[in-house]
Amino acid sequence: MSAEGRGARPLENIRTEIDAIDAQVRELIMRRMDCSAQVAAAKLAAGSTEVFRPDREASMLDHHGALVPKERRAGYRAALRRVVEASRSYQYGIMYAQLGDAATCGQLSGAELLEGKGQLVELELGCPGTAASLATLLGMVAEHGVGLAGIEQLSAAGGAGEGAVRYRLTLAADAADPALRKLLWQLSKESLDLRITAVR
């Protein structure tokens, strides 16, 4: 029964139920992450590092979103999108650990700049010109524990590919930090024409 159909309950009881639900959600997310690890292993065995399938994810979000009440749909889609994003990041981490830095981050445009010492890394990339795309981009940075020292829009939609916007990001992280390297590789796989432009 939905909350709207229930009588008022003591706040403590509601919080107890939420805690129980959160425990169930945790177990389901862990099961999903286990599946993500298996997907990553299967893709590596097949010689693939393709993780991001925007068409498949959009179809999945549309399908599951249509099954919840309209007034809750946006929130549900946002939560599900975040779970999917975390699963993708987990897969990239598994692949990075197995393939190594030279075969992943070492192949990026401007990767030689990472050999210098520095605590700020500047890069440019393009992404679809939607609020969800920008939120995903910023979420990736946060999930890897990398600080964002600055972001600048360089071009409007259409300047970096069909309907894309180009950005300059300044990341606050040691250039040798594996978390930064993993982030850069994931960004290169999920954005357009990523280029590392400076390390200072």
* Rounded CA separation 52/102 (Å): 21
Q: What is the number of other CB atoms lying within 10 angstroms of the CB of residue 77? A: 16
Q: What is the mean pLDDT of residues 126-147?
A: 86
Q: What is the mean pLDDT of residues 36-64?
A: 96
Q: What is the number of other CB atoms lying within 10 angstroms of the CB of residue 33? A: 15
Q: What is the pLDDT confidence band of residue 128, given thresholds at 50, 70 and 90?
A: confident
Domains of the chain (ranges; CATH) run 3-99 (1.20.59.10), 106-199 (3.30.70.260)
User: pLDDT digit string (tens) for 162-173?
Assistant: 578 999 999 999
* Rounded CA separation 187/192 (Å): 9
Residue 21 gets which letter from DSSP? Answer: H
Q: What is the mean pLDDT of the chain?
A: 91
The pLDDT value given to residue 164: 84
Give me the amino acid identity at 194: L
* Rounded CA separation 154/15 (Å): 46
The pLDDT value given to residue 159: 46
User: Residues near 38 by Cβ (< 8 Å), separated by ≥ 6?
Assistant: none
| Percent of the chain whose pLDDT exceeds 70 | 92
* Rounded CA separation 154/156 (Å): 7
pLDDT above 60 for 1:
no
Cα 99 from chain centre: 20
Name the token pair of 120. Answer: 């700020």
pLDDT above 70 for 183:
yes
pLDDT above 60 for 86:
yes
The model's pTM is 0.85
Alpha-carbon distances of 3 from 17, 21, 135, rounded to whole Å: 12, 14, 30
pLDDT top residue among 97 and 132: 97
Torsion of the alpha carbons at 144, 147, 153 and 157, rounded to the nearest 10:
10
* Rounded CA separation 12/171 (Å): 42
pLDDT above 70 for 131:
no
Q: Could you tell me the strand order of the sheet in which 147-155 lies?
A: 147-155, 164-172, 120-128, 192-199
Tokens 């964002």: give the residue: 148
**Is 123 in contact with 168 (CB distance < 8 Å)?**
yes
